[in-house]
Amino acid sequence: MDEIDETVSRSYPMVPIRDVVVFPFMMVPFVIGRQSSVLALESALEGDKKIYLATQMDASQDNPAPEDIYEVGTVANIVQSLKLPDGNIKVLVEGLRRARTAAVEENGGFLRAEVILDQVAKVSKAKVSLLAKRLNSLFEEFAKLNPNLNYETIVQASQSTDAERLADTIAANLPVTVEDKQSLLEVADPVERMERICEFIEVEIEKVKMDKSLQGRVRRQMEKAQREYYLSEKMKAIQKELGRGEKDEIEELKTKVEEAKMSEDAQEKATNEINRLEQMPPMSAETTVSRTYIDWLVSMPWTKRSREIKDLQRAERILNEDHYGLEKVKERILEFLAVRQLSSKTQQGSILCFVGPPGVGKTSLGRSIGRATGRKFVRLSLGGVRDEAEIRGHRRTYIGALPGQIIQMMKKAKTRNPVLLMDEVDKMSTDFRGDPSAALMEVLDPEHNKEFVDHYLDTEFDLSQVMFICTANVLHTIPRPLQDRMEIIHISGYTELEKLNIAEQYLVKKQLKQQGLKPEQIEFTSEGIQEIINSYTRESGVRNLDREIANVCRKVARKVVTARSEKSEFKKVVIDKDQVQELLGIQKFRRSLAAEANEVGLATGLAWTEVGGEVLLTEATTMKGKGNLTLTGKLGEVMQESAKAALSFVRSRSGAFGLGKDFHKLLDLHVHVPEGAIPKDGPSAGIALATTIVSALAGIPVRRDVAMTGEITLRGKVLPIGGVKEKVLAAHRSDIETVILPKENEKDLKDIPQSVLDDVKIVLVEHMDEVLDIALESPILKKNGEEFLDEQRPPRIKQVNRPEVH
């Protein structure tokens, strides 16, 4: 080996190398491809063929900085170099001396390192001799266990008396990581290095022995040479070595089953499943299925209950804190708690169904009930559910089977008496996968839900203590048998006064908190909130009102931040009517009468929709023809039949209305309900259609401030209808002064707030004659029908401010 002089500090061309550590006395071939490394190699070849090799910390870096290269490397002699066709150079180097990097500089496109050469330490020959013998024996043992080692090279080194050579040769051939080899290279003392190498070899020997021991144990246990069985048994052996025996898991499961205090049938199923699990191979697919099933059984709240709060005063306070109005619902909850106080033996849960338009607080009311009663609250959305398995679960024979949503919610609640809110129960659908509403009947039946059986659990679970609350926008999409199992509580839309109170007491405070505003920065006046309600929202609930208040708050928040950034003074913003119009822009809705003027053939009807009541205009016109009736406006079958019944009534009373007996043979009648893109149906527009037809034929305008609803018969009787409160509220919103209702709907007036009844005059009628007396601008003049048809008079339109009620 070529020697270098003993100068302590020297300068050499430097080549960073990847994934290899070069030791002294070591011959290493590798390929140089980086341009800087090629230049460093050429510089070394032009000189004394000495080069400094240091390992880079991250092998993925193409251009490592000096701090990315280990400080300790090896000065090597270039034994051979060969330029390859692709431009790379293959070199063979021989390590000479350890060296520590003192400084690195870039010179001529390559790195040149100033290094401090490692001086040979003086060591005790006796100690070195003992360590060399130990090292040789350990390495010989390791070589026998690992046939891949280059044993001849180490034998040659062991014959040498040089401790440095022996230690470095063995270190270079150890099957350890680059980091471990670098740590050995950085140890200058040969004695310490030999001791470290002995430790590495001992660890490697233990690893090889352990692996061979495991393989031997597995081979002795194997009866067949199948690959899956071999892996299974090897896993068992590894678990045994780690002290994680399968028996411990089985015992743990048995303990959990005992602690769960489940029903007798469920405990028997869980025990049988654990016994099956013991017989299964750990790698079997059935193992996971069984474990999951047992985990579900154990995690169910078989006996755990929430401590129920029965304090009526506290419950009433919480309900009033969270919601304004809704007296019927609050009264029902307080009655439920009162019964629980008097009869502690009453275990049967309650099943309520809140029905009302969107935005009136049905879902949030369920949360308040949970808080007021002290029960855990969980919510299940049934909108769009069309699979019966969503309720009852899948049988375990299916891959990926799970319990139904009811059982999943019970697991989530962790108690057997939660408040379970089933949202949007009217939005369930049906297809080839079954009818989820039919599966829900057992859940919501107080007589049967104590023995509810989920297909996955396949055992009875008691739901009788659950307080079920369902919400729906409409009832007609809910099957009648399912309705029969629930206590229906109708929640109507809010009046303007109620909306104002809700906004002042709840919505404004909530939005100030959410938008990060303080009361000294913004103030909502009653006038401003009233303007938002009247001109920017038209709804039964308060959801859009909440959005518009949030919109105002965001615009004020921007002004606050702008003032801060400009370091100017911010003045409190008072949200009045003018400020609302400035912030929210053009009014979306205009408060006006349903019609601009009293017109012939234009009557105001009232309709019920899923989002509350609406004013519905109906108009009719006559043309010379052959007695054809045309109905437009996307009317449903029932509404078309109402129009035909109204026309038949008018024909039967043609003499009383001053029409000729054969007027229908000389005139075509066209009845239209505007907003033709919206489907309309129902019998409640009957009297409005009849009034429109009479007005068009008799030429008498209909009063614009009168709205009406009711079903008509062929004899002119007015029959009761539904949705009275919503319809009267719609009339009130549109500044209608008089509302005509059927006499039999008088009982429904108690649900209408007194503030609305003070502003709207309610007229109860039993016959169509009463309707016409009130709705028409003037009495019908009896005259000869032929004279009426021959007249070519324009329709009378009269502007009125506040017409007198007849």
With b meaning 16 or more CB within 10 Å and e meaning fewer, what string describes 165-185?
bbbbbbbbbbebebeebbbbb
DSSP 635: B
Going through 498-594 in order, the beta strands assigned E by DSSP cover 522-524, 573-575
The Cα 248–Cα 242 span in angstroms is: 13
Q: What angle do CA 709, 712, 717 make, to 5 degrees?
A: 110
CB 674, CB 619: distance < 8 Å = yes
Judging by DSSP bridges, how do beta strands 452-453 and 460-461 pair with one another? Answer: antiparallel
The Cα 705–Cα 759 span in angstroms is: 12
Kind and range of the H or E element at 130? helix 125-145
The Cα 696–Cα 708 span in angstroms is: 17
Neighbour tally for 102: CB within 10 Å: 13
The Cα 28–Cα 55 span in angstroms is: 13
Residue 498 one-letter amino acid: E
Nearest to 540 by CA among 582, 585, 586, 490: 490
DSSP for 686-725 reads: HHHHHHHHHHHHHT-EEPTTEEE--EE-TT-BEE--S-HH
Backbone angles phi, psi at 418, to 5 degrees: -80, 175
The Cα 733–Cα 593 span in angstroms is: 9
- Token pair in block for residue 654: 């043609």
The Cα 643–Cα 625 span in angstroms is: 19
Alpha-carbon distances of 237 from 198, 215, 245, rounded to whole Å: 29, 9, 9
The Cα 393–Cα 442 span in angstroms is: 14
Quote helix, strand, coil % in the chain, to nearest 5.
45, 20, 35
Dihedral of CA atoms 131, 137, 142, 143 in degrees, nearest 10, equals 120
CB 688, CB 709: distance < 8 Å = yes
The Cα 519–Cα 522 span in angstroms is: 6
Nearest to 421 by CA among 502, 460, 364, 345: 364
- Token pair in block for residue 633: 């406006």
Quick one: how far is CA 303 from the chain centroid? 30
CB 671, CB 688: distance < 8 Å = no
Catalytic center residues: 684, 727
The Cα 302–Cα 261 span in angstroms is: 7
Phi-psi region of 627 (alpha: psi -120 to 50; beta: other; left: phi over 0): left
CB 761, CB 738: distance < 8 Å = yes
599 forms beta bridges with 702
